[in-house]
Chain A
Amino acid sequence: MASLQSSFLGIQSPNPFWLASAPPTDKKINVLRAFEAGWGGVVWKTLGSQVKNVSSRYSAVDYGGHRVMGFNNIELISDRPLELNLREIEECVRLFPDRAMIVSLMADNDRKSWHELIKKVEDTGAHGLELNFGCPHGMTERGMGAAVGQDPEIAKMVVEWVMEVAKIPVITKLTPNVHSVVPTGKAVVEAGTNGLSLINTIQSVTGVDLDTFVPNPYVAGKSVYGGYCGPAVKPIALKMLTTIAQNEITNKVPISGIGGVSTWKDAAEFMLLGASNVQVCTAAMKHGFRIVEDMCEGLSNWMDEKGFKKLDDFIGRSVNNITHWEDLDINFHWVANINQDKCIHCGLCYIACEDTSHQAINLVQGNPYNTYSIKEAECVGCNLCKLMCPVSDCITMVEQRVAPEYINWKEWQAKGLPLNDH
């Protein structure tokens, strides 16, 4: 059976699933429950100067009858006394020595504050530090969180302060509220961070109450932008992760992947795109810590099926499969095929193609069931019909290369080959 043992910057955990710095990791009672449930590690909720939170704090986006496709929060860093947090961290490390204990930090924006905080945390026996340069609300207005992460120069300076004293590995958490995560990523790697984690939450408004006209979440008739997370942000996180995994400076350090990880499949995808492990929050907030059971079992079974014995066998394996558009093979072509035995005649492929794509599906009226088939000459192989079809493997894409040889856009142009073929 495959081994899920994970080593991130030398920090050991029995599996690559950590709980991200957030409410689930803000005190001993939760963290012990998480470890009992089987989580490989936790990133303790961010410690820093004392704050006061508001009520309410969360809101969500539901979709198609499912709760919490996306989730946002306006909670600040830990509002518990620092000394209490430190004492509990120490106890958790002692009770579960085989699990990873990372502590998230956000000190006031001066060298002395960072140095003092790091020393106190290291005394707990924690295994690593995560620098919160990502929190998009509340703390930014005080010059912390994303305000640091959005400015590569400031981020670099803070990391340099940290590295002056840190004796345990330092992970810098990046904010997605930038046009690219790479500049800050490069700056903090150059400043000496041992690892990176991304993404933090994305600034958002989840919706507006159509009766009160107040956006969510509601605080005494007002709202603020909150940090968005959950399944909805996964594609954005994967893209940002890939840019870090492909950059020759930032890919020198290990990456902890965060952003909408809910299942072992999500985790495998993050790891294929360069994450050495993953951090989870929203899925646990929705279902509780028990979800880690299937994450471990599913990942292990998949690794066995694929012949992977350890995590390193597949970490980063898909990074180079994301290329530049201009390097894509223009002679590659495939067309849709509808399996008539599986078709349930819902017409969703037809209306999608007819109204919004290439009018490449033929309709023969029936009563009550119409018959749909592909006009291969019209089909550009866009996948739209396949994506809309509610039946697995009913619509498949069949390769019909235009020509056997590889040719990309630059070569196509250079040869003066015809454009506008559709």
Chain B
Amino acid sequence: MSIQNNRLTKEQYEQNFSDIHPPFESRNAALVEANRCLFCYDAPCTKACPTSINVPKFIKQITTDNIKGSAHTIFSSNIMGAGCSKVCPVEKLCEGSCVFNLMDEPPIPIAKLQRYSTEMAMDKKWQLFERKSSTGKRVAVVGAGPAGLSCAHTLSREGIDVTIYEKEKLGGGLMTYGIAGYKVTPQFCKDEVAYITGIGGIEIKYGKELGKDITLTTLQQEYDAVYLAFGVGLARQLDIPGENLEGMVDAINFIYELRSKGYDKVAVGEKVAVIGMGMTAIDAATQAKRLGASEVTMLYRRTKEEMPCTDVELELALLDGCKVLWLAAPKEALGVNGKLTALRAEVMKLGEPDASGRRSPVPTGEEFVIEVDMVIKAAGQTPYDSLVKESGIDNSWGKVKINHQCATNMKAVFAGGDCVNGGKEVVDAVQAGKDGAAGILDFLNINNK
């Protein structure tokens, strides 16, 4: 057993990481589904979307061959509508609330239709928004992820000059660095960032990290307002013996490598355990399998009832051949010569509900050992604790605290997205960016109504 890269042929990599949700092949195919839409009033799908996309309207616009209008409808609520059509867990959002579910009929494929309109807009480079003449105001945004880009786009439309400081080489944040390759390709992420910034008035300075290359104080001095959208980054530690053995990796780093190197450059174990059952855990497990691991086992402390990922995601992992051990908590990583060889875990049972309302896992004392050479930790992420605290920002366990206007305790400093909520979906971050922009516009006395 060993951890190694380049396990597969070029063709196998291509096949394993090809688009999992292929687009409509033709206008007619899209029309068949678009015409099924009932055009609900006060539509449940719209209400279930964190950015409140007017779904019936954009679908109706597909049926009238008004694709430009359709894309505008989507982007005016969600500037990352193209990316969201690929990565949103729609089964628990728009599609999950489609009224057809109540007739036991398949819901309208909203994401696929959204992709149809937004991809056409991106392919044809339709710039659907006009930037108002410059107000002379300047805003700094920290982080070119979904929240930062969404905030920047909204501000730019209102004539504000925005500078985004991004520590990575590319924009897009977790869209670019933290999501499975078979959902969004690196090229798509680049195109999406280019499309969003195509409106003008947005400059992204890459390789600039807050706390290292820039300070909050400088930004406060140089700009009329600052929007913090630096996300979360650190994987939660398991706090078990053996955590430093070679072969113990964290999911964020694992996926980051996948997204920033070629697939054949990413090393994966022969027998892999993934700890956790969120979306990132699924992305890590499926991609470990798709990189050529022979066995992937997912361990989760609770049961299917409590898992954070959706049924569709779980299905994906099972179809990829991943095994799932419910009610199993890691206790110790075992190794030989500093290299991981096995994982000792304990069988759990469900006790009383905890703060999240989910029944909490309780140890039973029964233990087992599985042979592994790689463990991917995906038991949640933690905020950039020290960055936040050193900057003097009011926070809760490292999560930035904001008021109803998205303002922090620091003068002219606003925040939103994962650095505030601790880590949610891309679509939530886009909405946070819109809310942050609204707060900033208000603060700058610019009427965007």
* A→B interface (CB under 8 Å): 64-65, 344-348, 350-351, 363, 367-370, 390-391
From B34, B35, B39, B99, A345 is in contact (CB under 8 Å) with B99
Between A344, A370, A390, the greatest number of chain B beta carbons within 10 A of the residue's beta carbon is seen for: A344
Taking the closest CB of chain B, its distance from the CB of A389, in whole angstroms, is: 10
Asked if B305 is at the interface of the complex by the 8 Å CB criterion, the answer is no
Taking the closest CB of chain A, its distance from the CB of B81, in whole angstroms, is: 19
Bound-state Cα–Cα, A273 to B252, Å: 73
CB pair A351–B41 under 8 Å, yes or no, is yes
Bound-state Cα–Cα, A345 to B97, Å: 10
Q: Annotate B89-116 by CB proximity to A: 1 below 8 A, 0 otherwise.
A: 0000000010110110000000000000
CB pair A346–B47 under 8 Å, yes or no, is no
Taking the closest CB of chain A, its distance from the CB of B362, in whole angstroms, is: 33
A347 surroundings in chain B (CB, below 8 A): 40-43
Bound-state Cα–Cα, A338 to B156, Å: 48
Bound-state Cα–Cα, A40 to B297, Å: 68
Closest B residue to A345 using CB positions: B99
* B→A interface (CB under 8 Å): 31-32, 34-35, 38-45, 47-48, 63, 97, 99-100, 102-103
If A344-B99, A344-B103 touch, whether A368 touches B44 (CB-CB below 8 Å) is yes
**18 additional contacts, CB 8 Å, given A344-B99, A345-B40, A391-B103?**
A64-B35, A65-B31, A65-B63, A344-B103, A345-B44, A346-B38, A346-B40, A346-B43, A347-B40, A347-B43, A348-B38, A348-B40, A350-B41, A350-B42, A351-B41, A363-B42, A368-B47, A369-B44
B41 surroundings in chain A (CB, below 8 A): 346-348, 350-351
Taking the closest CB of chain A, its distance from the CB of B24, in whole angstroms, is: 14
Taking the closest CB of chain B, its distance from the CB of A177, in whole angstroms, is: 31
Bound-state Cα–Cα, A369 to B39, Å: 14
Closest A residue to B28 using CB positions: A65
Bound-state Cα–Cα, A345 to B35, Å: 19
If A368-B48, A370-B42 touch, whether A346 touches B35 (CB-CB below 8 Å) is no
CB pair A346–B31 under 8 Å, yes or no, is no
Taking the closest CB of chain A, its distance from the CB of B88, in whole angstroms, is: 15
Q: Which 5 residue pairs across A and B have the least CB separation, nearest first?
A: A65-B35, A347-B41, A368-B44, A351-B41, A368-B47
From A65, A367, A390, B32 is in contact (CB under 8 Å) with A65
Between B41, B42, B102, the greatest number of chain A beta carbons within 10 A of the residue's beta carbon is seen for: B41
Bound-state Cα–Cα, A284 to B38, Å: 30
Closest B residue to A343 using CB positions: B102
A348 surroundings in chain B (CB, below 8 A): 38-41
A390 surroundings in chain B (CB, below 8 A): 38
Taking the closest CB of chain B, its distance from the CB of A353, in whole angstroms, is: 11
Bound-state Cα–Cα, A347 to B97, Å: 14
B34 surroundings in chain A (CB, below 8 A): 65
B35 surroundings in chain A (CB, below 8 A): 64-65
Bound-state Cα–Cα, A65 to B36, Å: 9
Closest A residue to B31 using CB positions: A65
CB pair A344–B102 under 8 Å, yes or no, is yes
Bound-state Cα–Cα, A351 to B39, Å: 11
Closest B residue to A352 using CB positions: B41
B38 surroundings in chain A (CB, below 8 A): 346, 348, 390
B97 surroundings in chain A (CB, below 8 A): 368-369
Bound-state Cα–Cα, A346 to B47, Å: 12
Bound-state Cα–Cα, A347 to B35, Å: 17
Between A65, A348, A350, the greatest number of chain B beta carbons within 10 A of the residue's beta carbon is seen for: A65
Bound-state Cα–Cα, A65 to B35, Å: 6
Bound-state Cα–Cα, A108 to B118, Å: 60
B44 surroundings in chain A (CB, below 8 A): 345, 368-369
A346 surroundings in chain B (CB, below 8 A): 38, 40-41, 43, 99
Bound-state Cα–Cα, A370 to B99, Å: 11
Bound-state Cα–Cα, A330 to B343, Å: 82
Taking the closest CB of chain A, its distance from the CB of B336, in whole angstroms, is: 54
Bound-state Cα–Cα, A367 to B34, Å: 24
B42 surroundings in chain A (CB, below 8 A): 347, 350, 363, 370
Taking the closest CB of chain B, its distance from the CB of A364, in whole angstroms, is: 11
Can you name 23 A-B pairs with beta carbons within 8 Å? A64-B35, A64-B63, A65-B31, A65-B35, A344-B100, A344-B102, A345-B40, A345-B44, A346-B38, A346-B99, A347-B43, A348-B38, A348-B39, A348-B40, A350-B42, A351-B41, A363-B42, A367-B47, A368-B44, A368-B47, A368-B97, A369-B44, A391-B103
A363 surroundings in chain B (CB, below 8 A): 42
A370 surroundings in chain B (CB, below 8 A): 42
Taking the closest CB of chain A, its distance from the CB of B26, in whole angstroms, is: 14
Bound-state Cα–Cα, A64 to B99, Å: 19
Taking the closest CB of chain A, its distance from the CB of B65, in whole angstroms, is: 9
Closest B residue to A350 using CB positions: B41
Bound-state Cα–Cα, A372 to B63, Å: 28
A64 surroundings in chain B (CB, below 8 A): 35, 63
Closest A residue to B102 using CB positions: A344
Bound-state Cα–Cα, A201 to B32, Å: 30
Taking the closest CB of chain A, its distance from the CB of B439, in whole angstroms, is: 24
A344 surroundings in chain B (CB, below 8 A): 99-100, 102-103
Taking the closest CB of chain A, its distance from the CB of B281, in whole angstroms, is: 27
Bound-state Cα–Cα, A65 to B64, Å: 10
Taking the closest CB of chain B, its distance from the CB of A70, in whole angstroms, is: 17
Closest A residue to B96 using CB positions: A368
Taking the closest CB of chain A, its distance from the CB of B27, in whole angstroms, is: 12
Bound-state Cα–Cα, A64 to B103, Å: 21
Closest B residue to A370 using CB positions: B42
Bound-state Cα–Cα, A391 to B100, Å: 10
Closest A residue to B33 using CB positions: A65
Bound-state Cα–Cα, A65 to B42, Å: 24
Closest A residue to B43 using CB positions: A347
Bound-state Cα–Cα, A253 to B103, Å: 49
Bound-state Cα–Cα, A370 to B100, Å: 15
Bound-state Cα–Cα, A350 to B39, Å: 13
Taking the closest CB of chain B, its distance from the CB of A263, in whole angstroms, is: 21
A368 surroundings in chain B (CB, below 8 A): 44-45, 47-48, 97
